[in-house]
């Protein structure tokens, strides 16, 4: 039985519980998901390099995600505030440098050929323009196909100047077959040749078209035909003039491949690069947990692997049938994981994708979202919404149990007072005593259980990790360390012809080369061993801080081992390539030797056949 002196305490508890019940439903309302608010900020710096990665979340989105990545690259290039680094180029440093060297060689040859042409040394000019053609063909035609067209036009102009009319017309016909919009200046071609150019141009545009089917192995790839993006393999191009066309295919993690192909089917095999396996691991990690912190950590490591300061990621789910693609898109700062832009949306499939994705992609590159209190903002759920809901339910249950416990406690006190006023030996007194004990027991159980449920609910609802879909971490993690990418020198452009020429419309949008890796912003502390970092005033207790530092050291060690593994695989691949080249050279030498031996034996047999045979009479006469 409870003494009557506790009635005041019970009344106070009842008032407190009534207040909690009043504010509980409002607190239990689910928080609205965070949305990217378009906000005008200062333009991004020139060192803001961005690479685009598309991550399909199911097999139905694989090809569509790759096409959406191309559209995102074009949007970044058009923005004027960010520098695009194609992921395929960033992961193929050796191949990129080789293609840049060929482009520089072509530009130098064009310049020297133009100088020789102006000095009327047409023989030297023809040699230089022919050299520019060969160097351009060995470069990246997905970006610089226009340079190849201009070199071939000047080669034809020099052949005309040398009196090689037939060779010049063959070259003109070949140029127009792959680039009907190529520009021929009357400053370099006489009226008769200009008339021939226009005649051939009309014939090419009016000729029956052929189709070219391009397939790639082992993965889908971006397909460029004569410098124009045609889609993601397998793709069929049906509007081509009958000629040998330049086909270029590229995919992140694989070496760029290109060849000349005529109508029909052609299959190109892309050799894997050492960075292909780390790229696959990181994209699979992000796809496995697309709404968790693992996603952003994987994207930061990918950005460090590519040597860029930002990553624009498109996580695409295809669904069933012709339903629109569900896209989760974000632009992430590699230094601290801050989501500079974030958007959710749907994108139509097929031909409508270009216009249907414009708004989503423009939102991703047009402005940068601010940090909250200097701390990075992220957008991932990690099950926190469910955890918060469970917390609110437990809190409401605990409050209800506490209210019930207080009510029964007050009833037990009332029974106690009635028992004291009743005759002690009467049946009513005994009934009041038993009922009061039962009420007191129920009150004790309700209050204890309610306190436990309310405490657990408060922990789940308000403890770290239950903060909802948009969460700013209390401490920015250091960016993954990576070796700085080599600085790419600006390529000299060839001098324009004497007459103003327009750029062929079929040329794809040029994309800037990746610069050297810039140091992290000033807000990030300088790299130092994790064990020597001075604790910030708001850091967790020593035990948690030590485990966090240990986790950082572990991630850095894994990243270092991954770099060593990439370097080892690169060396092995180079060694294997050298061995294959040596084996091919030996095979060619043996084949040449065998052919020489067969040729020698054939000549000996022919000589024997030509030599007159001697019969027995001739021998006797002799």
Q: In whole angstroms, what is the distance from residue 162 CA to residue 165 CA?
A: 8
Beta bridge partner(s), residue 329: 314, 343
Q: In whole angstroms, what is the distance from residue 568 CA to residue 571 CA?
A: 5
* Cα three-residue angle 314-319-323, rounded to 5 degrees: 95
Q: Are strands 264-269 and 210-217 parallel, antiparallel or unpaired?
A: parallel
Lookup result for tokens 């949007």: 75
DSSP string, 142-201: HHHHHHHHHHHHHHHHHHHHTT-HHHHHHHHHHHHHH-TT----TTTS-HHHHHHHHHHH
Nearest to residue 308, comparing CAs of 473, 87, 589?
A: 87
pLDDT at 617: 54
- Residue 543: pLDDT band (50, 70, 90) is low
> If phi over 0 gives left and psi between -120 and 50 gives alpha, with beta otherwise, what is residue 468?
left
Q: In whole angstroms, what is the distance from residue 513 CA to residue 506 CA?
A: 21
The ranges assigned to domains in the chain are 4-30+382-468, 54-89+279-376, 92-206, 210-269, 549-610
Q: What is the CA radius of gyration of the chain?
A: 38
Nearest to residue 370, comparing CAs of 87, 610, 53, 40?
A: 40
Nearest to residue 96, comparing CAs of 365, 307, 332, 302?
A: 307
DSSP state at residue 254? B
CA dist list (Å): 507 to 121, 229, 332, 352: 31, 9, 30, 22
Three-class secondary structure assignment of 96-123: HHHHHHHHHHHHHHHHHHHHHHHCCCHH
Question: Does the pLDDT at position 537 exceed 50?
Answer: no
Counting Cα atoms < 13 Å in the Cβ hemisphere of 79 gives 27
SS3 of 308, please? coil
For residue range 310-358, what is the model confidence (pLDDT) as tens digits? Answer: 999 999 988 777 788 999 999 999 999 999 999 998 999 888 888 889 8
Say which CATH class 54-89+279-376 falls into. Answer: alpha beta
Question: Residue range 259-268: average pLDDT?
Answer: 90
Nearest to residue 266, comparing CAs of 252, 247, 240?
A: 247
Q: In whole angstroms, what is the distance from residue 265 CA to residue 350 CA?
A: 22
Q: In whole angstroms, what is the distance from residue 6 CA to residue 94 CA?
A: 83
Asked if 504 and 146 touch (Cβ cutoff 8 Å), the reply is yes
Lookup result for tokens 């009344």: 11
Of 423-432, 451-460, 525-534, give the lowest mean pLDDT range.
525-534
The more confident residue out of 538 and 605 is: 605
Mean pLDDT of the chain: 78
- Residue 70: pLDDT band (50, 70, 90) is very high
- Residue 90: pLDDT band (50, 70, 90) is very high
- Residue 419: pLDDT band (50, 70, 90) is confident
pLDDT at 479: 37
Question: Does the pLDDT at position 26 exceed 50?
Answer: no
DSSP string, 11-36: HHHHHHHHHHHHHHHHHTSPPPPP-P
Three-class secondary structure assignment of 408-455: HHHHHHHHHHHHHHCCCCCHHHHHHHHHHHHHHHHHHHHHHHHHHHHH
Extract the tokens encoding 488. Answer: 């790419």
Of 128-142, 247-261, 575-589, give the lowest mean pLDDT range.
575-589
> If phi over 0 gives left and psi between -120 and 50 gives alpha, with beta otherwise, what is residue 605?
alpha
pLDDT at 322: 79
* Cα three-residue angle 34-52-337, rounded to 5 degrees: 45
- Residue 76: pLDDT band (50, 70, 90) is very high
* Cα three-residue angle 523-528-534, rounded to 5 degrees: 75
The more confident residue out of 82 and 386 is: 82
Torsion of the alpha carbons at 446, 448, 454 and 457, rounded to the nearest 10: -110
pLDDT at 594: 87
Chain CA centroid to CA 615, Å: 85
Nearest to residue 226, comparing CAs of 196, 206, 246?
A: 246
Q: In whole angstroms, what is the distance from residue 345 CA to residue 314 CA?
A: 11
Q: In whole angstroms, what is the distance from residue 139 CA to residue 506 CA?
A: 17
Asked if 100 and 513 touch (Cβ cutoff 8 Å), the reply is yes
- Give the best-scoring range by mean pLDDT among 35-44, 135-144, 537-546: 135-144
CATH topology of domain 210-269: Immunoglobulin-like (2.60.40)
b/e map of 80-92 (b: 16 or more CB within 10 Å)?
ebbbbbbbbbbbb
CA dist list (Å): 376 to 379, 532, 569: 10, 23, 35
Of 123-127, 216-220, 223-227, 568-572, give the lowest mean pLDDT range.
568-572
DSSP state at residue 132? H
């Amino acid at each position: 039985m409870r003494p009557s002196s506790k009635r005041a305490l019970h009344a106070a508890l009842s008032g407190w519980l009534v207040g909690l019940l009043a504010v509980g439903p409002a607190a239990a309302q689910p928080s609205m998901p965070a949305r990217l608010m378009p906000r005008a900020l200062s333009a991004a710096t020139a060192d803001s390099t961005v690479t685009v990665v598309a991550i399909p979340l199911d097999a139905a989105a694989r090809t569509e995600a790759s096409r959406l990545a191309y559209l995102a690259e074009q949007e970044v290039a058009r923005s004027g505030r960010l520098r695009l680094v194609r992921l395929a180029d960033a992961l193929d440093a050796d191949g990129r440098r080789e293609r840049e060297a060929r482009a520089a060689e072509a530009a130098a040859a064009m310049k020297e050929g133009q100088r020789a042409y102006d000095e009327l040394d047409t023989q030297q000019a023809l040699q230089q323009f022919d050299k520019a053609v060969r160097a351009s063909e060995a470069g990246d035609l997905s970006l610089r196909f226009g340079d190849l067209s201009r070199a071939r036009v000047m080669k034809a102009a020099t052949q005309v100047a040398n009196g090689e009319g037939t060779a010049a017309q063959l070259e003109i016909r070949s140029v127009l077959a792959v680039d009907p919009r190529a520009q021929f200046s009357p400053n370099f071609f006489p009226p008769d040749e200009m008339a021939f150019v226009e005649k051939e141009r009309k014939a090419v545009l009016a000729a029956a078209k052929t189709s070219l089917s391009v397939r790639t192995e082992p993965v889908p790839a971006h397909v460029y035909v004569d410098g124009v993006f045609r889609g993601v393999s397998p793709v069929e191009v049906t509007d081509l003039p009958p000629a040998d066309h330049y086909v270029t295919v590229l995919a992140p993690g694989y070496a760029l491949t290109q060849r000349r192909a005529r109508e029909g089917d052609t299959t190109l095999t892309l050799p894997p690069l050492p960075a292909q396996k780390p790229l696959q691991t990181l994209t699979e990690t992000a796809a496995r947990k697309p709404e968790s912190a693992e996603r952003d950590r994987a994207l930061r490591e990918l950005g460090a692997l590519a040597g860029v300061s930002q990553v624009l990621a498109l996580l695409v789910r295809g669904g069933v049938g012709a339903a629109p693609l569900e896209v989760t898109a974000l632009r992430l700062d590699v230094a601290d994981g801050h989501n500079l832009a974030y958007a959710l949306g749907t994108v139509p499939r097929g031909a409508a994708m270009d216009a249907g994705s414009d708004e989503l992609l423009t939102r991703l590159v047009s402005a940068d979202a601010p940090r909250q209190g200097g701390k990075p903002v992220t957008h991932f759920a990690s099950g926190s919404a469910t955890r918060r809901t469970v917390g609110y339910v437990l809190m409401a249950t605990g409050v209800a149990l506490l209210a019930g416990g207080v009510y029964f406690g007050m009833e037990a006190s009332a029974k106690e007072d009635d028992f004291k006023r009743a005759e002690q030996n009467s049946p009513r007194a005994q009934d009041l005593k038993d009922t009061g004990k039962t009420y007191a027991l129920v009150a004790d159980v309700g209050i204890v259980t309610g306190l436990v449920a309310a405490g657990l609910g408060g922990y789940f609802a308000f403890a770290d990790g239950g903060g909802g879909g948009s969460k700013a971490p209390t401490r920015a993690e250091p960016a993954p360390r990576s070796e700085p990418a080599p600085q790419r020198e600006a390529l000299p452009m060839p001098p324009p012809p004497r007459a103003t020429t327009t750029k062929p419309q079929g040329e794809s949008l040029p994309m800037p080369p990746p610069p050297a890796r810039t140091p992290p912003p000033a807000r990030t502390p300088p790299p130092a061993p994790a064990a020597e970092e001075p604790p910030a005033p708001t850091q967790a207790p020593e035990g948690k801080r030590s485990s966090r530092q240990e986790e950082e050291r572990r991630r850095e060690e894994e990243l270092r081992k991954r770099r060593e593994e990439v370097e080892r695989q690169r060396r092995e691949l180079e060694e294997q390539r050298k061995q294959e080249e040596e084996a091919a050279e030996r095979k060619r030498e043996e084949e040449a030797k065998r052919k020489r031996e067969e040729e020698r034996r054939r000549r000996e047999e022919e000589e024997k056949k030509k030599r007159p045979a001697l019969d027995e009479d001739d021998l006797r006469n002799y």
